[in-house]
Structure 1
Amino acid sequence: MLVLAFDTATPAVTAALHDGERVLAESTTIDARRHGELLVPSVREVLREAGASLRDVTAIVAGAGPGPYTGLRVGLVTAQAFALTAGVPAYGVCTLDVLAYASGLDEPFVVATDARRKEVFWARYADMRTRVEGPSVDRPQDVPGGLPVLGAGARMYAEIVGEDRLVPGAADYPAAGALAGLAAERLAAGAPGDDGVLTAPHPIYLRRPDARVPGPPKKVTV
């Protein structure tokens, strides 16, 4: 098994290679404006570091969001293009699930990432592998209370969600090593398609993009 994973659903442009037992190479750059510019070089770097090529990869996994429209599309379109080139399957994984998996928590908690517009994307978990609610998009004050919370959205709105609820040491952004590890775990368990974690590589959109198709020109009468 050789899983190539990457995520562009947040400001983190992250890529990793996993052999089914451990992360062989990983690269992460925090830059919300350069997903398209940074992703392919990051993939090349992890392949080079691991001494592998795209032909060696057996599965490709991309973070499926939720996240901003443009950045999210970069990762998913790249995953589909690489999968077609290599002749291997491509999968998507909810980006919030990656943060949950990386937390290592075995108790209920919430993951929240920045959704812009003074909102957060969030999901509730029974443990690091089990999502029980979401993903959703809401105002920070509407995120379920009474549980530990992690992610960049939680830290950004700590005064609203409660600083005492923040999970110490938890990552703000997803890391491709965790994404690859979660995917490798599910593939080893024989999860071939939509098992609730591994899905088709389609974006998770919880609202319409900011861009709009212009409407017809207004009629001008004399």
Structure 2
Amino acid sequence: MLLLALDTATPAVTVALHDGERVLAHSAQVDARRHGELLLPAVDRVLRSAGRGLPQVTAVVAGTGPGPYTGLRVGLATAEAFGAALGVPVHGLCTLDGLAYASGLDVPFVVATDARRKEVYWARYADARTRTAGPAVDRPADLADEVAGVPALGAGARMYAETFTGVRTDLPEHVSAAALASLAAERLAAGTELPPPRPLYLRRPDAQVPANYKVVTPR
């Protein structure tokens, strides 16, 4: 197996290559406005670093968010394009699961990323591999009772430390494709069927069709 993993659901543009046993190479750049510009060069850089070619890839996994629409669709569209071009399966994994896996925690905890609009995307875990609630999007103040005294990681938790009182700044702020690839490889090896690469937007887009627009075409 040669698994190509990528995620653009957070400000991090991250790519990794996994051979089923270990991560061969990975890349991460944090820039919320340049997902489309940075992703393909990162894929090329990772493949070159691992000494592998794109035709050798046997599967692709993409982070499905939750995340902002524009950034998230870059990674998912790219993953689908690779899958179609190579004739290989494309899998999805919740981005928050990747962050949780990278934590290595074996106690209950919370992962939260920035959802903008003064909200966070979040999920609760029993341990690094087991999600027990979420993903969801909420205002931090509405989660105070849910997350009080529980270890928390991710950019959203750091931004709202007054709510996420157990913030672990020693743990990852953004998802890493290396963790996403390792989690996917582990589940595939165990025979677990991974979800399809469908985006987890969790809320309606900002752009809406006007309710009362003027008709300019002839009737």
Shorter-chain TM-score category? over 0.9
Cα displacement (A) at 1:168: 3.9
Unaligned runs of 5+ in 1: none
Partner-residue secondary structure (3-state), 2:205: coil
> 2:150 is aligned with what amino acid?
L
Q: Does structure 1 residue 25 correspond to structure 2 residue 28?
A: no
Q: Does 1:130 align with 2:126?
A: no
Q: CA deviation at 1:216?
A: 4.4
Report whether the alignment pairs 1:149 with 2:152.
Answer: yes
Q: Which residues of 2 match residues 73-84 of structure 1 at below 5 A?
A: 73-84=73-84
Match of 2:195 in 1: 199
Q: What are the within-5 Å matches in structure 2 for residues 172-183 of structure 1?
A: 172-183=173-184
Does the CA contact (< 8 Å) of 2:158 and 2:169 recur in 1? no
SS at match of 2:45: helix
Offset, 1:211: 1.8
Could you give the per-residue CA deviations for residues 124-158 of structure 1, whole angstroms, max 9, x where no partner exists?
00000000100000111223223111100000011
* Alignment size in residue pairs: 212
Gaps of 5+ in 2: none
Report the 3-state secondary structure (helix = DSSP H, G, I; strand = E; otherwise coil) of the residue aligned with 1:159.
coil
- Specify the code of the residue in structure 1 equivalent to 2:67: G
Partners of 1:141 and 1:129 lie apart in 2 by 27
Counterpart check, 1:88 vs 2:91: no
* Cα distance in structure 1, aligned partners of 2:63 and 2:190: 20
For 1:22-171, list aligned pairs within 5 A.
22-143=22-143, 144-145=146-147, 146-162=149-165, 165-171=166-172
Q: 2:8: which partner in 1?
A: 8
Deviation at 1:20, TM superposition (A): 1.1
* % identical equivalent positions: 68
Distance in 1 (alpha carbons) for counterparts of 2:110 and 2:99: 10
Q: Deviations over 1:22-66 (max 9, x none)?
A: 111111110000001110110011011111111111110000000
Instruction: Give the TM-score normalised by the residue count of structure 2.
Output: 0.93
Q: Which amino acid aligns with 1:100?
A: A
Matched to 1:174, the amino acid is V
The alignment partner of 2:77 has SS state of helix
User: Which secondary structure state, in structure 1, belongs to the residue aligned with residue 163 of structure 2?
Assistant: helix
Deviations 1:56-77 (A, max 9, x none): 1111000000000010000001
- The farther-off stretch of 3-12 and 51-60 is 51-60
Among 194, 201, 208, the alignment partner of 2:204 is 208
Q: RMSD between aligned alpha carbons?
A: 1.2
Query: Contact 1:6–1:75 at 8 Å: present in 2 too?
Result: yes
Partners of 2:175 and 2:82 lie apart in 1 by 21
TM-score by length of 1: 0.92
Do 2:83 and 2:90's aligned partners in 1 also have CA atoms closer than 8 Å?
yes
Preserved CA contact (<8 Å) 1:141 1:161 = no
Kept in 2: contact 1:115–1:121 (CA 8 A): yes
- State the 1:161 CA deviation: 2.2
